[in-house]
Amino acid sequence: MRRLITTNMTEIKLTVQAPTLVNRDFVKPTLCGPGPCDVWPSVNEALTKPVISPICDEHFYVLDDIRAGLKYVFQTNCDTVLALSGSGHGGMETVINNLVGPGETLLVAKRGFWCERALEMAKRYGINTITTTVPMNETFSLQQLENELRKHRPTALFIVHGDSSTGIVQNLKSVGELCQRYGTLLLVDTVVSLVGVPFFMDDWKIDAVYTSTQKAFSGPAGISPVAFSDRALNKINNRTHQPPFYFDVKLLSQQWNCYGSTRVYHHTLSSPLLWALRQCLQEVIKETLPRSWARHAATTKHFLKRVEQLSLKTFVPKPEDRLMTVTTVVLPKGYDYLQFSKYMREKYNILIFPGIGQTVGKTLRIGLMGVNSTIQVADAVADAVAGTLIALKKSSL
């Protein structure tokens, strides 16, 4: 490439000199925390596909493909389905601020770290927040939720389907019907559950849902799929409050051509993330959803068996409450969770996480998701846990 130089510019004095960025080599660990997860090889390739420009047909085809794939993974026939240009936290904020306005009430089924985030977000918009809670390692009963809905008749109920901070999956069957009975919209976090655990947006009458791509999707973070029911859409079309421009689903659904008539420019989408998400969806379609769910269940059940053989306890007592993507494991007295995780990385190059929020010092968080949801990886992690138990017993107990 020929680079022309005009001398006057190169003589400009800079205030800040160029830094030196050192290229450090590192051996990537196997990512077996609650996320980010390793990516599918095909998704890694997809990241380098040609840049697509927002005014070209190629761009529109990719958006249409993504919407079709998302309808499949969310199991919905609703039209308001798209991917937000941001992380899962962006999805969380979008679902809340599009559906609940200042002065309206959001009931949060509070357990684990992510509900705290939802509460913090809601308060920033002047939303009245109410919480109902359960012990960290239990799920909400329909009865408890109904009592709160009856008492407060909130605009919306926020609940987490798969909770990576506690390793719990919340049974959502009948929660949607309950919400409809009390005129409440049902908002669901599926960041760490979707594609790994059965989920049926339409059948379960869920009004708004968001997820992330760096968990069971085995893709890169930075793009957050969201879906809204027709009830939710009705609220969006008739609300009096205005969400932030960047998160406004009314505008985003026009950019994503959700209703088959508009391709209105809203912001520039990230080409590599679009290609990557499309490829994640191709992987799910190739395997099929039921087989993906079955694989995650089989892998995690195998891992749980291995953990039991090591005489370790799982943090979640009831088998039916255990999340099949992220497992929480309790160490015997005397072990330090942070030290344990560090040793796993240093000795075995396997990355697992200690607890977060309420679960700090109470559990390890081990994710077997997406490309890492295999018996081989489960065995490798279990072997490393066994080795670490012995090594740290000698040195620290």
Annotated binding-site residues for substrate read 365
Structure tokens, 161: 């389907």
Q: Which residues have C-beta within 8 Å of that of residue 196, sequence separation ≥ 6? A: 162, 215, 216, 292, 293, 296, 324, 325, 369, 370, 373
Contact call for residue 250 and a copy of itself (CB under 8 A): no
**Distance set, CA 274 to CA 74, 91, 151, 332 (Å):** 18, 16, 43, 44
Contact call for residue 358 and a copy of itself (CB under 8 A): no
Q: Which of 136, 127, 132 is nearest to 150 (CA)?
A: 132
Among 234, 242, 262, 309, binds a copy of itself (CB under 8 A): 242
Contact call for residue 267 and a copy of itself (CB under 8 A): yes
Q: How many residues does the chain have?
A: 397
Contact call for residue 202 and a copy of itself (CB under 8 A): yes
Among 137, 165, 229, 271, binds a copy of itself (CB under 8 A): 271
Annotated binding site: 365
Binding mask 113-152 for a copy of itself (x = CB under 8 A): ----x--xx-xxx---------------------------
Shortest approach of a copy of itself to residue 240 CB, angstroms? 13
Contact call for residue 6 and a copy of itself (CB under 8 A): yes
> Which range of residues in 168-176, 179-187, 228-236, 369-377 is near a copy of itself by CB under 8 A?
369-377
Among 239, 250, 263, 302, binds a copy of itself (CB under 8 A): 302
Angle at 226 between CA 79 and CA 51, to 5 degrees: 95
Contact call for residue 35 and a copy of itself (CB under 8 A): yes
Which residues are registered as beta bridge partners of 156?
A: 106, 185
Contact call for residue 272 and a copy of itself (CB under 8 A): yes
Structure tokens, 244: 């932030």
Contact call for residue 26 and a copy of itself (CB under 8 A): yes
Structure tokens, 63: 């958006």
Shortest approach of a copy of itself to residue 143 CB, angstroms? 26
Among 42, 128, 254, 270, binds a copy of itself (CB under 8 A): 270
Contact call for residue 212 and a copy of itself (CB under 8 A): yes
Q: Which residues have C-beta within 8 Å of that of residue 245, sequence separation ≥ 6? A: 251
3-state class of 365 per DSSP? strand
d(CA 386, CA 383): 5
d(CA 249, CA 264): 13
Contact call for residue 290 and a copy of itself (CB under 8 A): yes
The number of residues that bind a copy of itself (CB under 8 A) is 115
**DSSP designation for 206:** -
